[in-house]
A = this chain, B = another copy of it.
Amino acid sequence: MFGDVEGNRARVADAVETAARAGAELVVLPELCTTGYAFADESEACELGEPADGPTLEQWRGLAAAHRLVIVGGFCELDAEGTPRNSALIVDQDGASRVYRKTHLWDREQLIFVAGTEPPPVIDTSAGRIGIAICYDAFFPEVMRGLALGGADVIAVPMNSPIVGSPTEPLAAEVVLALAAAQVNRVYVAQADRAGPERGIRWANASAICDPDGRLLAGPVEGTTVLHSACDLERARDKALGARNDVLADRRPQLYATTNDKETVN
């Protein structure tokens, strides 16, 4: 619920417990899951945000240790200067943690947050090598490719996806992108979208878990729920496709390096 930080932390604890009971080793939570998404302005973000070593880190360390799993999710970070950042936090069961600041800001986020300057990371954890992208970051195939080249087994995507225009059929546009990224990189993609009413926004309900063949393992689904699926990370470490192809080795970077200039026939 927007602005109900304590209530949202309790909802996170419930969701992590539900996931743990289902056997989860990795839990992905939505973008800005402690505060809600639809900030009116920067000052509201400053009021609701917290430093990277604030109460969210403390809570997630407790949950990760208690349930022996890795948690990735979004929170409103206030940096050393007090500037709001749309960040993701990853916490391992031993308490190790890392913050990533969203590098591609969507729409009004540009009025509220300052974009990060470090690329989306790949983190070695007890649940495998986890790449992180936040919502609109995943719209850029370069981001997902970079995470795969960086060794990600699973790309975790905390997201809040407002519907732009009318929904696409038969799959939400954000689910199409997740399936495509999973397929061309032969990685798992686990994205957690927002659900429920928030200041009049309609959400795309794009939570999904995709496998390296570009198949839906779980989701999409309407409403608030916990999706889960078994993932065999060895499958994401084998980039072979059929008998003679390899989705990363078949790249021809020397042909991608330069922008193709527009040409005229003959």
Flag whether A10 is at the interface (Cβ < 8 A): no
CB distance from A266 to the nearest CB of B (A): 4
Contacts A96-B265, A139-B184, A150-B262 given: A119-B245 contact, CB under 8 Å?
no
Q: Is the CB of A146 within 8 A of B260?
A: yes
Contacts A103-B252, A243-B107, A247-B139 given: A97-B176 contact, CB under 8 Å?
no
Cβ < 8 Å to B, chain A residues 78-127: 90, 92, 96-98, 103-104, 106-108, 110, 117-125
Give the complex CA separation of A136 and B247 in angstroms: 10
CB distance from A106 to the nearest CB of B (A): 6
A98 to chain B: closest residue by CB: B265
Give the complex CA separation of A244 and B259 in angstroms: 24
Give the complex CA separation of A263 and B35 in angstroms: 28
When distances are taken between beta carbons in the complex, the residues of chain B under 8 Å from A259 are 146, 149-150
Q: Is the CB of A263 within 8 A of B123?
A: yes
- In the complex, per-residue mask of A248-266: 1 if CB is within 8 Å of any chain B CB, else 0: 0011110110111111111
Which residues of A line the B interface, CB within 8 A?
90, 92, 96-98, 103-104, 106-108, 110, 117-125, 129, 131, 136, 139-147, 149-151, 164-165, 168-171, 173, 176-177, 179-181, 183-184, 213-216, 241-245, 247, 250-253, 255-256, 258-266
20 A-B pairs whose Cβ atoms sit less than 8 Å apart in the complex: A90-B265, A96-B264, A97-B265, A103-B255, A106-B242, A106-B244, A106-B245, A107-B243, A119-B260, A120-B260, A123-B265, A129-B262, A136-B250, A140-B256, A141-B142, A169-B216, A173-B214, A176-B183, A177-B183, A180-B181
